[in-house]
Structure 1
Amino acid sequence: MNIHYQSKQNLSNNDIQAAKDLLTHKHQVDRTFSDPYLFNRYNFDRSMPSFFTAYKDRKMIGLLAVYADDAEAELSIIVDPNYRRKGIASKLYENFQSETASYGIKSLTFKTERIFIDENPKFLVSLNLLLTDEEVLMAYGTSPYLVEERFDIKVLIASEEHVEEIARFQSESFEDDYELSLRYARETVANQESPIYVALCQGYVVASISADQSSDVNYLFGVAVDSNFQGQGIATYLMKQTINDLIQSNHKPFHLTVEADNQTAFNLYKKLGFKEITRIVHLELKK
């Protein structure tokens, strides 16, 4: 079988469309929902190859995507269901290992969905993988919320002047390194497809949420509230205002993920009308 393998720092527009076609077919067959991030703008080293592709003729039949905002990389490997068990996933992984060996990656996590694991029970054993974490992917439609305006809170799209404030409380909320949070905030503010919506109280940023619009859904991420302002309904207010604004601008539905054991956040999203659609699992190689 004549398969052409290639590694790239970024996907071209044609590659992105081919990847979306591959993912659509995979989701139809596997009844899955989660997509890998098809850009490298958050990776800690943009010179590192982040995408490894397999093409047969002009059709993408395999993709390995690397998400590595730090040295702990997350891999998503997708193979066209019609071409599985032909060594394509193994070849993509071999290419990744050989071409990223010098970039200082300290650990690897593989990302897939619970339904795939449940329907392929030998998968974990055959590849010597251990399930480490689980997230819930939740979805919301395009119905705007009725929101009673709060005069103590102002919601707007963040600009460069808000970056350091966002990084400060996000690093505290997510227990991340400040420099990593600062890079996230700068990249997201600079990227028109992923605006950061912020809530201001007395002129200070007290909460934020980001929205990636690069796919067929608005993917919400980076929800954080300053610890001094939690319990005041600010997250709910910010999310409703953000969702209403995005519905008006692009009318796409919404996805977000929440850690399976974060019951507080799960209950908040459920109260806002989000529904669970799948479970995302993270796997590591057994030592």
Structure 2
Amino acid sequence: MLTIEQLKEIKKLQQTVEQYDSIDLKLNWDMLENRSDEDQTDFLSYDSGRLVGFLGLYSFGSKMEVCGMVHPDYRRKGIFSRLFHNCQPALEKARKILLNVPADSQSGKQWLGSIACTYEESEYMMKWEGNILPELDESIRLRPSREEDIEMKMKLDIVCFEFKPDEAKVYNDRLERDGFQQEFFMIEAEDKIVGKIRIHREKERSEIYGFAILPEFQGKGYGRRALQEAVRMEAQRGQTVYLDVQPENEKALSLYTSTGFKKESQQDYYLYSI
């Protein structure tokens, strides 16, 4: 488990790297701040008491994402390669390993050239920049999830995100253990649960995750109305709203763009096999 001091050091290093490279790193702070003692998922490198390198592992079902950084003054010294070597035992538990590198990170792309990996996919970080708040739509309802909703949330992970049943259980158990289930809202229409959406708030920033509509209710406009309601709810609180989307998912990208979201940055993912 990371200490408060270590979290501060990682945040400071992230700010230094992002400013120097003009990039946005995806360090999944909602997960970083709630690590458990069960597995080693964070690897740090120090020089004379100064944090100069960091690598984090982020598990999503059977998929594990890897992201990290090295201070600009300490590059080309093999620091990140050593961190990556040290995390290999933890990577063996994953069925799929994706290395996350900001699209504009030249140093990250250079490091990728030193290992065996292949480009897998990209992801856009999008920010809502609409000028007019969506109106309240009473045909759709976002209500806080309850304990009895767990089976539906697992079902949505399985049918919409291709989780295996055991992976969906492990994933949701972890979210429950780390206190994230309170961030979930169930989407209701026609007096039924039709989907779910998770809203993570960090100061004035709200990030939307796990947005899913059951296949039998897709194509009826429920997804659009639910997203608009989420934006309305967060913007009224004074929050800036963000979400991620794969550019290959043209349907979702079109929905988000038409709802007022605009691309802010891009993350590239590379498939790695041990």
Higher RCO structure (Cα 8 Å, ≥6 apart): 2
- Is the CA contact (8 Å cut-off) linking 1:37 and 1:65 kept in structure 2? no
How far, CA to CA, are the matches of 1:214 and 1:92 in structure 2? 28
Q: CA offset at residue 63 of structure 1? A: 0.9
Alignment correspondent of 1:244: 232
- The whole-number CA distance in structure 1 between the counterparts of 2:132 and 2:25 is 24
> 1:143 Cα shift?
6.0
Please give the secondary structure, in 2, of the residue aligned with 1:213. Answer: strand
Q: Does 1:163 align with 2:150?
A: yes
**45-54 vs 218-227, greater mean Cα deviation:** 45-54
Summarize the Cα distance change of 1:144–1:222 in structure 2 as closer, same or farther, 3 Å threshold. farther
- 2:197 paired residue number: 209
Deviations 1:33-91 (A, max 9, x none): 23212426999x96220000123345322111001234442211211122111111012
Cα distance in 2 for partners of 1:114, 1:77 equals 14
Matched, 1:282 2:269: yes
CA distance in 1 between partners of 2:250 and 2:266 (Å): 15
Match of 2:250 among 256, 263, 271: 263
- Distance (Å, rounded) in 1 between the aligned partners of 2:148 and 2:121: 35
Indicate the residue corresponding to 1:108 in structure 2: 97
Q: List aligned pairs for 1:16-35, cutoff 5 A.
A: 16-35=7-26
Residue identity matched to 1:35: K
Distance in 2 of aligned mates of 1:18 and 1:120: 20
Shift of 1:206: 0.6
Q: Tell me the C-alpha RMSD between the 2 structures.
A: 3.0
User: What residue in structure 1 maps to residue 68 of structure 2?
Assistant: 77
Separation (CA, whole Å) in 2 of partners of 1:193 and 1:169: 14
| Counterpart Cα distance in 2 of 1:141 and 1:188 | 29
- Alignment length (residue pairs): 272
Q: Following the alignment from structure 2 to structure 1, what is the Cα–Cα distance between the partners of residues 81 and 160?
A: 37
Contact persistence 1:163–1:189 (CA under 8 A): no
Seen in structure 2, the aligned counterparts of structure 1 residues 35 and 168 have a Cα distance that, compared at 3 Å, is same
Percent of counterpart pairs with the same letter?
19
State the alpha-carbon separation in 2 of the partners of residues 195 and 286 from structure 1: 33
TM norm structure 1: 0.82
Paired residues of 2:102 and 2:108 also in contact (CA < 8 A) = no
Instruction: Tell me by how many angstroms 1:120 deviates.
Output: 7.0
Question: Structure 2 matches for 1:44-83, cutoff 5 A?
Answer: 47-83=38-74
Unaligned runs of 5+ residues in structure 1 are 1-9
What is the CA–CA distance in structure 1 between the aligned matches of 2:143 and 2:20, rounded to whole Å? 40
1:55 and 1:253, CA in 2 relative to 1: closer, same or farther beyond 3 A? Answer: farther
CA distance in 1, matches of 2:56, 2:242: 20
Query: Does structure 2 retain, via aligned residues, the 8 Å contact 1:188–1:196?
Result: no
Seen in structure 2, the aligned counterparts of structure 1 residues 48 and 20 have a Cα distance that, compared at 3 Å, is: same
What TM-score, normalized by structure 2, do the two folds share? 0.85
The aligned amino acid for 2:77 is K
How far off is 1:189 after superposition?
5.8
Relative to structure 1, the CA distance from residue 136 to residue 195 in structure 2 (aligned partners, 3 Å threshold; closer, same or farther) is: same
